[in-house]
Amino acid sequence: MLTGRRFVKPTCTDAKIAAMNEMRAREVLTAAGLSGGAELLALGENVVFAVGDLVVKVGRDAVRHPELRDRAEREVAVARWLADSGVPAVRAAEATARLVEGHPVTLWHRLPDAVRPAEPRDLARLLTLVHALPAPDGLGLPRRELLGGVERWLRLAGDAIDPADADYLRERRDGFAAAAAALVPHLPPGPIHGDALPRNVHVGPDGPVLVDLETFSADLREHDLVVLALSRDRYGLAPEAYDAFTAAYGWDVREWEGCAVLRGARETASCAWVSQHAPSNLKALAEFRRRVASLRDGDTAVRWYPF
């Protein structure tokens, strides 16, 4: 989210929530002395602005959620480690995260405009570099807690979703968490991106670079590969694009017997993530119900959509 070309305008049902987040983030920018000409780029887990040659990420309240400051500090440290390791990735403009009025704030060098959209094969080449790295000295990468947010998202959904659907997802979470813990990997575990999608690659004049480093983890390398396999089956990624990805990486995770387990865990998390938006977004509620129905029916080919 460091280029200025990835902001999606909120829907009408999200507008008040988005405006409140942006307003608070701009207050934090002002307190940090970074408000001059700030252009909103993205609203999500962070609020992201372009300020001159910099990109500024403002995190959520780290007073109530101290782990968010740790995550911001780790993202900056990961960027420094990747630079030292020769992996093309976004570069931090400051060595540490700031804490401004209780919010973590990180500064990044703004990337030049993209020369073309990123493709799955671009992602594969970057993943081969990341997956070749040993665990970094002095930087404790966490496990990839794919299912860790399920309970929080379901609680945020509240009465907007059917309690039976919430209970069903909790049961799936517990089952897949146990199954994932017992997996025998095909690849040697180690550093992973954690959210390995083409949207987290930026292709500039000097080639592809990784962006959005906050989910970097130390876990099964297969986590990074299942994402694209699920994209092929659920989100409409063209089969030929997926084939180009596996050819560039050198292996297809669908050949691994544990693929279905990580896929099921990721589907469970993705479904629960949508639920948190259901109270204020009717499209999200409809998409949540569609996803749950496809899981209950065991239909792995039902297309899932953004909302």
Report d(CA 241, CA 247) in Å as an integer.
10
Q: Which of 33-37, 125-129, 168-172, 210-214 has the lowest mean pLDDT?
A: 33-37
pLDDT at position 18: 38
Average pLDDT over the chain reads: 91
| Domains, in order of start, for the chain | 22-109 (3.30.200.20), 120-297 (3.90.1200.10)
Which pLDDT band holds residue 28 (cuts at 50, 70, 90)?
very high
Residue 24, pLDDT above cutoff 60 = yes
In angstroms and rounded to an integer, the radius of gyration of the C-alpha atoms of the chain is: 19
Residue 1, pLDDT above cutoff 80 = no
The pLDDT of 237-263, averaged and rounded, is 97
pLDDT at position 2: 54
pLDDT in tens, 38-54: 999 988 778 999 999 99
pLDDT at position 53: 94
